[in-house]
């Protein structure tokens, strides 16, 4: 009976969990490619990457031991403050926790081939970014056994609820900013309309007064 009661709640919570985004992209030589990610405050982010160098002789992507990856993460909202500056192997991960709400720039660069950072060799990078505690738990879960105790399941649900609350706070903040901006815009429109009406009224009054004086001077009235 307890399982039947909790099942709808679990399904509802599962639809609002944080995300794990995966993609791959190509770099050429010393090219530096960046991605923007808008993140909540105090959010744990883990990136898993795997770089492979293209070999024209075999027409395939391989991973030589000399291949390395330079990773930087910058807070755009804080004058591009750098929170991650990591140079590692061809595959690995990077981790950081956001200090504040806003956009973060995540950049990658490789030292392909024997000519160092100035080679023009193509490199393919697979990237997996796990955002939020529940996403990271879910990714690590694929490398371990399934949860077997009720306590572990409850802990997972608590993490998901924390992520949901954080997302709700984020949405409320965005709605408040949009509402304030709309109210300010409406107030400026009303003030400008009133100013226009005053100017038009003053212009009409001046024109009528001028015409009346002209008619009197011409003895038409």
pLDDT digits (tens, 9 = 90+) for 105-146: 999 998 875 444 445 678 899 998 888 755 555 455 445 555
pLDDT digits (tens, 9 = 90+) for 146-184: 555 666 777 778 888 888 888 888 888 888 888 888 888
pLDDT digits (tens, 9 = 90+) for 41-51: 888 888 899 99
CA atoms within 13 A on the CB side of 142: 6
pLDDT for the residue 35: 86
Decide if pLDDT at 75 tops 50: yes
What CATH number does the domain located at 2-164 have? 2.60.120.510
**Domain ranges, ordered by start, for the chain:** 2-164
- Whether 122 and 60 have beta carbons less than 8 Å apart is answered as no
More confidently predicted of 35 and 148: 35
DSSP category for residue 51: E
- Whether 97 and 42 have beta carbons less than 8 Å apart is answered as yes
């Amino acid at each position: 009976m307890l399982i039947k009661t909790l099942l709808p709640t679990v399904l509802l919570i599962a639809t609002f969990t944080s995300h794990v985004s995966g993609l791959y992209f190509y770099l050429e030589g010393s090219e530096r490619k960046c991605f923007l990610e808008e993140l909540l405050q105090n959010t744990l982010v883990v990136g898993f990457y795997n770089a492979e160098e293209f070999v024209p002789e075999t027409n395939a992507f391989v991973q030589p031991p000399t291949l390395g990856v330079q990773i930087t993460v910058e807070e755009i909202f804080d004058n591009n403050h750098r929170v991650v500056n990591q140079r590692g192997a061809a595959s690995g991960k990077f981790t950081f926790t956001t200090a504040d709400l806003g956009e973060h720039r995540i950049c990658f660069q490789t030292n392909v081939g024997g000519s160092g950072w100035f080679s023009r060799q193509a490199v393919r990078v697979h990237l997996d970014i796990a955002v939020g505690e529940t996403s990271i738990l879910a990714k690590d879960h694929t490398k371990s056994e399934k949860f077997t105790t009720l306590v572990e399941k409850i802990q997972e649900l608590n993490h998901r609820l924390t992520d949901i609350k954080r997302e709700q706070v984020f949405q409320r903040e965005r709605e408040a900013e949009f509402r304030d901006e709309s109210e300010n815009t409406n107030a400026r429109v009303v003030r400008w309309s009133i100013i226009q009406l005053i100017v038009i009224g003053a212009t009409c009054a001046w024109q009528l007064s001028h015409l009346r004086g002209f008619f009197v001077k011409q003895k038409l009235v």
